[in-house]
Structure 1
Amino acid sequence: MNTADLGLPVAVPSTALFTDQYELTMLQAALRSGTAERRSVFEVFTRRLPEGRRYGVVGGTGRVLDTVENFHFDETILGFLRERGILDEPTLEWLAGFRFRGDIWGYPEGEVYFPGSPVMRVEGTFAEAVLLETVILSILNHDSAVAAAASRMAVAAGDRPLMEMGARRTHELAAVAASRAAYVGGFHTTSDLAAGFRYHIPTVGTSAHAFTLLHDTERDAFTAQVDTLGSGTTLLVDTFDVTEAVRTAVEVAGPELGAVRIDSGDLLLIAHRVRQQLDELGGTKTKIVVTSDLDEYAIASLAAAPVDAYGVGTQLVTGSGHPTCSMVYKLVARADSEEPGAPLRPVAKKSMGAKTSLGGRKWAARRLDADGVAEAEVIGTGPVPAELADRQLLVPLVHAGTVVAREPLDAARDRHIAARAALPLSATQLSRGEPVLPTEYV
């Protein structure tokens, strides 16, 4: 989503220093050697999914597009590079006029991916494409990790709403990105107002234990909150004694009390007791919200409990144990000269060990079985087989430096729901396993 569409200031800070120094020193050396303008193709992929995960989720594509648009070197940045002696003057002069003018293709945001999937392909000169490596990986690795965790939690929650509440558990800027990725993965709301402002994600929030402790009695705290926010608010009932708090909450707010929140203890047992108590007090429509360091496994364990919504923080914004997807950005093809029409030839790292890669500009398609269920991720470098022509996964994102794939965040969210639904049923199992689709190279 373009920030200008949200009423934010048009002057967006440059993203050019969200990079590693060696991207710029490679640029300088390539300019000197005469290879900087060689047409090149870089691809983003991961060699494996995080241990035990059955699918990955593409998150952060929209943020990548914003970043590419704002990747330029203004006088302040050039002055910093000059003062540090990082680059010579010819390179600084080249950077002064830099704008990415190449093409970017990729899996659309919200799509699922598997080992080897070329989730993003960057095409241009070596100079312009190599500069984007660090920031693209930074965004995709973080956002895809959070989106995958969110997706697993959404599966565990079923039809029950999920609230993202992790802003205080991570860096303040990462929190905004995590809220966005969680929404793509299936969360419904966020507590982070910056995420709500920037991405139009619905926001929620009422009170913490400190608010109760501020008042002389729990009743005083509940009364103040209801007087301010109305009887439909959510009251936190586990500061002292849960049973007494629920009784007081209904007395203060009446049977129209919106919800009670439980943030500690044996959530399964307490939820059953609170539900029974609420019903006996006439609060049959009062919902129960649970928080307290939840992850997908804890959410799944509460499937039979009378819980209406979940709030998740730490485990979500840290990828539920996998805070990165280990995506890499590799040169897979390049021209032999700087001539505009020079043909591309495949290149690949061939060192010992697991860090090898497959050369060549790739396409990807998802083959379906007779019932329309995905059965394989097919990746190739030659002609696309006719039977897979309408199943290709990469779409144009940037053409000749211009973003061509802006979309509302809800489109990515809806796409993920559809993509996950098209996978075999075993994809939604929370037990550890291999990727639900094999990757086939043709």
Structure 2
Amino acid sequence: MNSADLGRRVGVPSTALFTDQYELTMVQAALKAGTADRHSVFEAFTRRLPEGRRYGVVAGTGRLLDAVENFHFDDEMLTFLRERNVVDGPTLAWLADFRFSGDIWGYPEGEVYFPGSPILRVEGSFAECVLLETVILSILNHDSAIAAAASRMSVAAGGRGLIEMGARRTHELSAVASARAAYIGGFDTTSDLAAGFRYNIPTVGTSAHAFTLLHDSERDAFRAQVDSLGRGTTLLVDTYDVAEAVRTAVEVAGTGLGAVRIDSGDLLLVAHRVRQQLDELGATGTKIVVTSDLDEYAIASLAAAPVNAYGVGTQLVTGSGQPTCSMVYKLVARAVSADPAEPLQPVAKKSLGAKSSVGGRKWAARRLDEYGVAEAEVIGTGPVPDGLADRQLLAELVRGGEVVAREPLDAARERHIAARQGLPMSAMQLSKGEPVIPTEYV
């Protein structure tokens, strides 16, 4: 399996400072108290789905594994911590030798999740597990939010092409992560070359309005693009007059023109007019691509339009109004020593309101009905009930500090399609609703 299949990890910098200061100060205090080495179990989960969403999508696992693997403190980082008096000398010495040596289990990337699902379970000493909290939540919260939005847009598109093109609408690094998450959620291509390079996602792109405006006429611009990129290219036809542009495009490229792109106006109306015009001109195979601030609702509204592909930017990379999944990372069990054989004691936060948690090291399984459709997310801390043993969701990701579950990005993409198809049909509704299956604790 080559590096392009798994993501290019060369030159990845340390992720150790992608954290909050209190992670390090907790380690310092625990080292002094003699509790830092206590065997502990942390779990990442969400207490609720974003408002109105019916399912969540796990994304970012592959990036998370890279982050854990590259979580170490180099000399420059240690100097920074020393100069800022963030932690004391003994803690700095401990950090200098730090490498995560524990175990991580989690829902496989692309799987769906529900409130309470133990999406990730991190096990090891308290100190090494707590250090990973912020970077784990940063990755899972961002990528899962984008993947969930992408999944909804994929459902709305109904098999038509989806192009991720949000790089200019977010931070340059989050743009790459967004393209990766969108691909898992069902998008086909990205305009972001960094995402294509790092994760082998198919890339596309032709020209913007500036290219048309550069030339003395629209015809000159189309001729230049066709001469350079061939007749199969996509010509942008809404810089001036759409009908005139479509006519010129076919005259320049011939009836074998690959596609035209519409980026403004009443997309439903314009797409129908363009399709009719293309067919009358003999360009019956020329496709229509639409862009312009699309989200899942706009895509769904174009279901009756003769559109072949949608390009989505802002709404995708911002999670279509839900830029985070509100996942948390909580200590759920710990022992009184560093011995992994020591019995674990369930622990849980007992806050007022909705911020309490459920203690204990958990398993999770998805119960199916007689038709093979998901009917409940079952979570427990004791023995797994009969009939659920082969439906367990947590997979081993890291064993003894070593990553054991790298996979091609396409595997996560295919897993998501299968997981989504295994949900009740109401999961595909875009209207606001409750989680499509309940969470049951046993």
Deviations 1:101-146 (A, max 9, x none): 0000000000000000000000000000000000000000000000
- Corresponding position of 1:87: 87
- Corresponding position of 2:242: 242
Deviation of 1:289 (Å) = 0.1
SS at 1:387 equivalent: coil
SS at 1:354 equivalent: coil
What does residue range 13-162 of structure 1 map to in structure 2 within 5 Å?
A: 13-162=13-162
Deviations 1:65-89 (A, max 9, x none): 0000000011111111111111111
- Corresponding position of 1:312: 312
Structure 1 CA distance for aligned equivalents of residues 376 and 350 of structure 2: 26
User: In 2 relative to 1, CA 261–11 (structure 1 residues): closer, same or farther, beyond 3 Å?
Assistant: closer
5+ residue gaps, structure 1: none
- Corresponding position of 2:231: 231
Q: Please state if 1:277 is matched with 2:274.
A: no
Structure 2 CA distance for aligned equivalents of residues 118 and 179 of structure 1: 25
Deviations 1:331-360 (A, max 9, x none): 000012334532110000002111000000
* Contact 2:178/2:317, CA 8 A, preserved across alignment: yes
How many residue pairs get aligned? The number is: 442
Structure 1 CA distance for aligned equivalents of residues 244 and 387 of structure 2: 65
Deviations 1:14-56 (A, max 9, x none): 1100000110000000000100000000000000000000000
**TM-score of the aligned structures, taking structure 2 as reference length:** 0.98
Residue identity matched to 2:164: E
Deviation of 1:433 (Å) = 0.5
- Corresponding position of 2:398: 398
Deviation of 1:416 (Å) = 0.2
User: In 2 relative to 1, CA 4–33 (structure 1 residues): closer, same or farther, beyond 3 Å?
Assistant: farther
Deviations 1:183-226 (A, max 9, x none): 00000000000000000000000000111111111111111100
User: In 2 relative to 1, CA 304–415 (structure 1 residues): closer, same or farther, beyond 3 Å?
Assistant: same
SS at 2:387 equivalent: helix
User: In 2 relative to 1, CA 408–194 (structure 1 residues): closer, same or farther, beyond 3 Å?
Assistant: same
Structure 2 CA distance for aligned equivalents of residues 83 and 312 of structure 1: 45
- Corresponding position of 2:203: 203
Q: Please state if 1:416 is matched with 2:405.
A: no
What does residue range 145-224 of structure 1 map to in structure 2 within 5 Å?
A: 145-224=145-224
User: In 2 relative to 1, CA 102–229 (structure 1 residues): closer, same or farther, beyond 3 Å?
Assistant: same
- Corresponding position of 1:427: 427
* Contact 1:293/1:315, CA 8 A, preserved across alignment: yes
Residue identity matched to 2:270: I
Deviation of 1:13 (Å) = 1.1
- Corresponding position of 2:380: 380
SS at 1:235 equivalent: strand
Residue identity matched to 1:25: T
SS at 1:41 equivalent: strand
Residue identity matched to 1:391: R
Structure 2 CA distance for aligned equivalents of residues 7 and 350 of structure 1: 41
How high is the sequence identity, in percent, across the aligned residues?
83
SS at 2:289 equivalent: strand
CA RMSD of aligned residues (A): 1.3
Deviation of 1:159 (Å) = 1.3
Deviation of 1:8 (Å) = 5.0
SS at 2:398 equivalent: strand
- Corresponding position of 2:346: 346
Residue identity matched to 1:199: Y
* Contact 1:206/1:233, CA 8 A, preserved across alignment: yes
* Contact 1:3/1:10, CA 8 A, preserved across alignment: no
* Contact 2:7/2:198, CA 8 A, preserved across alignment: no
Deviations 1:138-164 (A, max 9, x none): 000000000000000000001101000
- Corresponding position of 2:297: 297
Structure 1 CA distance for aligned equivalents of residues 414 and 188 of structure 2: 12
User: In 2 relative to 1, CA 240–295 (structure 1 residues): closer, same or farther, beyond 3 Å?
Assistant: same
**TM-score of the aligned structures, taking structure 1 as reference length:** 0.98
Deviation of 1:437 (Å) = 0.4
5+ residue gaps, structure 2: none
Residue identity matched to 2:319: G
Structure 2 CA distance for aligned equivalents of residues 371 and 351 of structure 1: 40
Deviations 1:231-265 (A, max 9, x none): 10000000110000000000110001000000000
Structure 2 CA distance for aligned equivalents of residues 155 and 168 of structure 1: 25
